[in-house]
A and B are shown apart, each in its own frame.
Chain A
Amino acid sequence: MGFFDILEKQSKEIQLSLIENRIKALTTGIKTEVTGDVLDNLLYLMLNAMSMLFIINDDYRKNIKDFTGTYVICSKDNMIDVSVKFKKVRVLGFEQDGMKVKDTIIDNPTSMVTFKDGKSMADFLLSGNPDVFVGMLNNQLSVSGNLNYLFKFVYLLQLIPDLLGIDEFQKLLKAS
């Protein structure tokens, strides 16, 4: 193994270590949010955790093979404005499927969810089994754009607690 190969290997290990540390921090942040009173950052933390998990977890990344959906998640009270873009990203020198999260909205997303407010969003995320239709019927959220993309996104979200080693949200909530 040449000098540059060793350097590259070390660089990758450092980057992976950084990502793992970042995931740990996000996990702690999510746990703190779920068990606390203020849930302002929950969505942002979960989406960031999602993007990190796509980098290091091959099985999870398999869910977004060649996937290019774009999403906007916002609230009527303007407390939440997040956009998510699934696209190819460069990771450790290679291009792979991934996602980008921004705290601004984008035009013409494939799918858009508007929560009534932050509480509605938190209730949805922490329900243990988020249901788009129930949310719509209860006036907690409205959707526009392609619903199938939203169903996929909710599925991806639901995998996160397990992947982060967080017990089901409901258990955490009960414990708190």
Chain B
Amino acid sequence: MCSKIGEVKNKLKEYTPDNLKEKLPLLDSLIELHRSVAAAVDIERSQYLTDHLKKTENSGIPMSIRRAQAISNYLSERKVFFHDNNMLGGATTGKALGAPVYPEYIGLTIWPELRTISTRIDNPQILNKEDADILNYEVFPYWLDRSISEEVRKVDPDRQSLQEKMIIYTISKAATISHTTPCYELVLKKGILGILCEAVEKEAKHDDDDEKSDFYQSVRIAMQGVLNYSANISREASKRANSEVDEERKKNFQRIAEVCKRVPAHPARNYIEAVNALWICQVCVFAENSNMAINPGRLDQILYPYFIKDFESGELSIEDALNISGSLWFKIADNVNLVPQAAEKLFGGAGAVPAITLGGVNKDGKDAVNELTYVLLKVTELLPIRDPNVNARYHPTENTADYRNEVSRTILTNKAIPAFFNDIQNIQTLVDQGETEEHARDYAVIGCVELGSVGRDYSASSSVFIPMYTVLYMALHNGRTTVTGDKSLWKATGKPEDFDTFEKFWDAYAEQTRLTAENAISLNNTYGKNHQEFLPTPILSAMFHGPMDKGRDLINGGSIYNSSGVTHIAFPDVCDSICAIRDVCFTEDNTDMQMSLSELVKAVDNNFEGNKLLEAYLKNKAPKYGTNHPIAEEISKRLIELSYSVFNNQENYRGGNYRVAYWTMTNHAGYGSVTGALPSGRRANVPFSSGITPVSQIDTQLTTSLNSVANLNSMHIPGAYALNIKYSPADPTHENVIKFGELVEGYMKEGGQQVQFNIQDYKTLINAKTHPEKYPHLLVRVSGYSAYFDTLNEAMKDELITRSQYNLSSGEFVPIQLEGE
């Protein structure tokens, strides 16, 4: 262990959640404020964007330039706010907790709610009448025919219409450019002025190439906006400092004024400049792109040189480092997504899910954990807030057990964060995807759980959602779905009575998977092409490796790697359903329960009414994924292999491929609540299991369950997965920390990619649902990100309550007890 790490760790021991008020009063006040503030809709960006696009509608200026001008104008003109005593300058919106409107994406979905969004039951977002009128009369009408979904409808109305059925597939590009991790290190080293100068030089050099010239021009224009924004922050802070009577606040404003005068225009020289520069970059990226899972990345690596220099020189104390880093945490948490009521019902409770990644190995494959890693873990422990989504990379042979245990202790203390990621498997899977070893080693977690080399892979990792239960339904109903009428949607692949062998049924399932994939990919690529035409991203492009060399925007393939992600909903439930089909309909020596597939489908479609015996058998006796049952092991592997073979070699609109993943945010609960019964014995309207997590309430040892997941071929899950484990509460004693860490290590050594935890018992969660006022900020992991329990929809709360609970000491399954207080 490096001696400085020991010194830092010793100093960090002084700070605990219990003495936050006494030791770190700034962070204590910020957490109080964060918890008390209500989300509010912010329209400022949408006004600037719309006004500029209206003005330049028939100007003949290319869209890449018009959009860069619009965003640059907004950044240059937007009001500067200081909502609290945070040490950093810059804010995503003009509200303390803002939901920015992106009319080019799905902003117009709140049109019907303009009068009611402030008072709706599910996660209200405050919108005053004046702003609602501006949206209604000025902003939204412009986008009626121009939002990205409507542009896509003009090209592919049929597939767009299927997207709106909501259960065939979901293409996230309707709402976002998709999840990715920029390389803010570029800005910290070069400064925005450096990038701007590069753009000016290259624009001149390529004046005979319109595409390149336009791109560099757009970067130049956008960077000017970033510079103007930071200069305005500096000016406003200076003004506030002059009028402020409180000495502490005056000093804070003076510091912000000085810092923002320097960065991000110029390279950062110290820790606070680096942190503030990074934050301003994130704000500017949100000005250009919707605030969904744009990730700060590997903060303990990017910020380390600035931290250690200041720490060693004595200019930065541990207290300062905690205050500055904690300030960044609150800044990152200053925004939420604007979503319509229905989306709140289905997916409610999400923040903007910016992921921070700590630990792991460096580009040489050696231990990258450093002093700052421990500082940021301490911040994570002290500040149990929804965003950022903190993730800890762990390399079982390179990282120390001490680091592993510190991550474990943090999780046991704050009961949810961070998640663990296995460097061995994840690096290998990225290399298998064609990334160089050096680039793969520099991966960061994106949004929920996805992987991408920092600033090198424009990963668009949440591009496509495949509801596997719909594919299964089509395979069992001759290609029909519940929402597209009596005819088969893609192809008639046979009625249940046509399948006289399991393999014939499997072939139908595989064919429906292929056809769903083909159509989803086609629509995603159409969206992508429309993004290329209407939504170029000069700011984000300037913060990636590749675009400035190629003279090409990220969305046109400017990045080094250009993958898209495809995640799957209800893998465990569908796996169990296919196991049940094989067991009950196609296993001759099954003497407990046998029936034809037609009979089984009929019983399932009737939600097992009058078939209690069958339902009980399917729930309790049929093979289940997560139990090491040989049929389940085989089917789970075949399913993984099938999706990989269907998607991995498909080309996206930027020339990259589609990476398969299994994470579900809260979709599994929302969609489960509106979906019929399944052959697994799951009744209608019950949440699906999360991510790749085996279905809950199966009486099995935790290690058995973990082994089933670890045995899946992670080379075929390059987009990663979310595995959720719930432990009975256990104090972070040395013994518990070691036990916790060893279990994670064992799972990783077996091949597990990722695991995340809730340290909660059934009773607490039931009480939190019944008496939300007693648990106002209960932090939980859903399937990928963290959320406040009381902001989740009913289905998601139920899913969290009923998740299998295990005893940390014994690994034994704890059966559910449904009584609360």
Chain A positions near chain B (C-beta within 8 angstroms):
62-63, 65, 67, 69, 129-134, 136-139, 142-144, 146-149, 151-152, 154-155, 158-159
Most buried by A among B109, B111, B482: B111
Q: Which of A63, A134, A147 contacts B342 (CB 8 A)?
A: A134
Residues in A neighbouring B482, C-beta threshold 8 A: 139
B164 touches A148 (CB 8 A): no
Which of chain B's residues 641-677 have a Cβ closer than 8 Å to chain A? 674
Which of chain B's residues 130-189 have a Cβ closer than 8 Å to chain A? 136-137, 140-141, 143-145, 147, 149-150, 153, 161, 164-166
A62 touches B137 (CB 8 A): yes
Residues in A neighbouring B114, C-beta threshold 8 A: 155
B346: CB under 8 A from chain A? Answer: yes
B211: CB under 8 A from chain A? Answer: no
Q: How far is the CA of A130 from the CA of B113 in the complex (A)?
A: 9
B112: CB under 8 A from chain A? Answer: yes
Min CB gap A37→B, angstroms: 27
Which of chain B's residues 107-125 have a Cβ closer than 8 Å to chain A? 108-109, 111-116, 120
What are 9 A-B pairs at a CB distance below 8 A? A129-B112, A133-B166, A133-B341, A143-B164, A144-B161, A146-B145, A147-B150, A151-B109, A158-B115
Q: How far is the CA of A133 from the CA of B144 in the complex (A)?
A: 18
B341 touches A147 (CB 8 A): no
Nearest-neighbor residue (CB-CB) of A66 within chain B: B141
Q: How far is the CA of A142 from the CA of B484 in the complex (A)?
A: 10
Residues in A neighbouring B147, C-beta threshold 8 A: 148
B483: CB under 8 A from chain A? Answer: yes
A146 touches B341 (CB 8 A): no
B340: CB under 8 A from chain A? Answer: yes
Q: How far is the CA of A142 from the CA of B167 in the complex (A)?
A: 13
Given A133-B343, A138-B674, A147-B145 contact (CB < 8 Å): no
Q: Which of A63, A139, A155 contacts B483 (CB 8 A)?
A: A139
Q: Which of B140, B141, B144, B165 contacts A136 (CB 8 A)?
A: B165
Q: Which of B116, B136, B145, B150 contacts A129 (CB 8 A)?
A: B116
Min CB gap B143→A, angstroms: 7
Q: Which of B111, B161, B341, B483 contacts A152 (CB 8 A)?
A: B111
B345: CB under 8 A from chain A? Answer: yes
Residues in B neighbouring A143, C-beta threshold 8 A: 164
Q: Interface extent on B, as a size class?
A: 20 to 34
Residues in B neighbouring A130, C-beta threshold 8 A: 112
Q: Which of A131, A132, A139, A155 contacts B136 (CB 8 A)?
A: A155
Summarize B's interface: helix, strand, loop or mixed: helix
Residues in A neighbouring B140, C-beta threshold 8 A: 148, 152
B111 touches A158 (CB 8 A): no
Min CB gap A41→B, angstroms: 23
Which of chain B's residues 50-71 have a Cβ closer than 8 Å to chain A? none
Question: Besides A136-B483, A151-B112, A155-B112, 19 other CB < 8 A contacts?
Answer: A63-B137, A67-B141, A69-B144, A129-B113, A131-B340, A133-B166, A133-B341, A133-B342, A134-B342, A134-B345, A136-B164, A137-B166, A142-B483, A147-B109, A148-B111, A148-B150, A152-B141, A154-B111, A155-B136
Q: How far is the CA of A76 from the CA of B343 in the complex (A)?
A: 26
Q: Which of B115, B166, B341 contacts A131 (CB 8 A)?
A: B341
Residues in B neighbouring A63, C-beta threshold 8 A: 136-137
A148 touches B166 (CB 8 A): no
Q: How far is the CA of A151 from the CA of B113 in the complex (A)?
A: 9
A134 touches B483 (CB 8 A): no
Interface string of B74-118 (1 = CB under 8 A from A): 000000000000000000000000000000000011011111100
Residues in A neighbouring B144, C-beta threshold 8 A: 69, 146, 148-149, 152
A129 touches B165 (CB 8 A): no
A131 touches B342 (CB 8 A): yes
Min CB gap B51→A, angstroms: 17
Q: How far is the CA of A167 from the CA of B98 in the complex (A)?
A: 32
Q: How far is the CA of A44 from the CA of B285 in the complex (A)?
A: 47
A129 touches B164 (CB 8 A): no
A136 touches B166 (CB 8 A): yes
Q: How far is the CA of A143 from the CA of B109 in the complex (A)?
A: 14
Q: How far is the CA of A56 from the CA of B511 in the complex (A)?
A: 58
Q: How far is the CA of A139 from the CA of B165 in the complex (A)?
A: 9
Residues in B neighbouring A65, C-beta threshold 8 A: 137
Min CB gap B76→A, angstroms: 29
Residues in B neighbouring A142, C-beta threshold 8 A: 165, 483
Which of chain B's residues 280-314 have a Cβ closer than 8 Å to chain A? none
B346 touches A147 (CB 8 A): no
B120 touches A147 (CB 8 A): no
Nearest-neighbor residue (CB-CB) of A135 within chain B: B342
Q: Which of A138, A139, A155 contacts B111 (CB 8 A)?
A: A155
A133 touches B136 (CB 8 A): no
Nearest-neighbor residue (CB-CB) of A63 within chain B: B136
Residues in A neighbouring B111, C-beta threshold 8 A: 148, 151-152, 154-155
Min CB gap A10→B, angstroms: 35
A148 touches B136 (CB 8 A): no
Residues in A neighbouring B136, C-beta threshold 8 A: 63, 155
A147 touches B164 (CB 8 A): yes
Given A139-B483, A148-B145, A151-B108, A133-B340 contact (CB < 8 Å): yes
* Complex A-B, nearest 4 residue pairs according to Cβ-Cβ distance, in ascending order: A133-B342, A151-B111, A154-B112, A134-B342
Most buried by B among A63, A136, A139: A136
Q: How far is the CA of A148 from the CA of B343 in the complex (A)?
A: 16
Q: How far is the CA of A158 from the CA of B111 in the complex (A)?
A: 11
A134 touches B341 (CB 8 A): yes
B346 touches A137 (CB 8 A): yes
Min CB gap B514→A, angstroms: 26
Residues in A neighbouring B161, C-beta threshold 8 A: 144
Residues in B neighbouring A144, C-beta threshold 8 A: 161
